[in-house]
Structure 1
């Protein structure tokens, strides 16, 4: 069963706006929402980065029955996994069973702020495996302790627990991470690569498969390209830059290499033709993802909501 969701972009909007967008997304007909968890925006132009767990409390009370997940949080450095376990348990209680927790190995941009060493990916993946074990242990209830290679938990107990623990959806880039997601997760999260989702399937992975489609809708495509270039140039950065650069200033410097043509020819959907959006969503589904959430770049969310409500979502009913 395929579902189309909406991105609550914490980098571009304040907490009250995000709550309003969640309400609007549910009314329009989006079937779930994903909210990003960053300490910083990618570039300063984006302008925001509210604390996701506070925003989720508002979303839980403002929406009727919209499933919402964090896409994704990194429970290995900036916040200890025992604290993430508590935050997620509270969110799951407030959402009454419709909250899911996306986890990943993070980006230096967000996780280095406490001054800890930024380890290589293989070490971060080991840390993520321990973090998942800790969270699942705490969600079982009772007093728990844990002594691992990377984390220690002593005499911790969560007294506020949902009836059922939230699903953990593991983000994966690369073969090893996709195999770990199949082993550890209740679902899979990636950027649309067919290779990783195929590995997840081959390794016996079960649960929903999430990916994001980035768009910038405007009535005029040139205006959409201009907006995407101004607000989301980081989409054109390749390789490991996204996980290694430490500050928005560094991303801005890297984005000086990005041209308007890179945006026009890149992965952001800027064509206002609804058929283009429909075809791109279908490509994600054909690749193996059954949950695709749409990120509208820039300040104008209302035109996007109207467009998807009338022109795009009905094609998938």
Structure 2
């Protein structure tokens, strides 16, 4: 690990000023420190934000929105009574996402900012446009079992590794941020993670002097929800394919459906057009198959990960069929 300076500011203003000058923010460090040890990342300055007050709480406002501070640990979010009652799919996704030890350290903001687990990104001997722009993408030629089948580009097929982010996309979360100027804004979860295009090194919509201060959840949608994660082993492992879904069905028809994929794209993958095709439709295999066609339109494997497309399709259909049967029985 290369030498670096280390500071612990007490305010977001101080942290964002240092970030704007090229420093890297440190929260739980569950991803960043690993990358530093492997020389994948080698920041000269680390800014530990854990002493900043006001970022460790889960609160609600009069409009019914829930605010999860950037420094709330994943364990605390998953176990919080309000989250369990109103947003169980978020709790399920977090618990599916990592070991208990990692959840005890990982934070809301850090989870959203974690880097891809692409083998080429981690291998310093491999070409990776995300790590070194313009060097190429060795994942295209093989070793891409975990990589994206949709949303990628000729420059990068790295996949977003976060389970929590899939649930947040499903719930129409907004990411509240603060800049060094003191200005705050809210970024829709749909726009927070960028597709790679020809600049895969630019992974989020954050400005250079901007940091996450909270995640804002609107009032929870009505319906049954679940998070289904398909992985190589039952213990801690990244998703091959995951599906977060909420379904409301009555009298054999879908009345409200939303779903998002994880493990198949550079960001949580949600296609509202596919959801809308199910609204008012009779619950049937044909209807679910048609929605899957729309959701996965344009998906393309790269050899080792070809299996992800039929796996994503089957997982989605199974999840929606199960939720619709349960909900229709109420």
Shorter-chain TM-score tier: under 0.3
The structure number with the bigger radius of gyration is 2
Normalising to structure 1: TM-score of the pair? 0.26
Question: Relative CO higher for 1 or 2, CA cutoff 8 Å, sep ≥ 6?
Answer: 1
Higher helix residue share: 1
Normalised by the length of structure 2, the TM-score is: 0.25
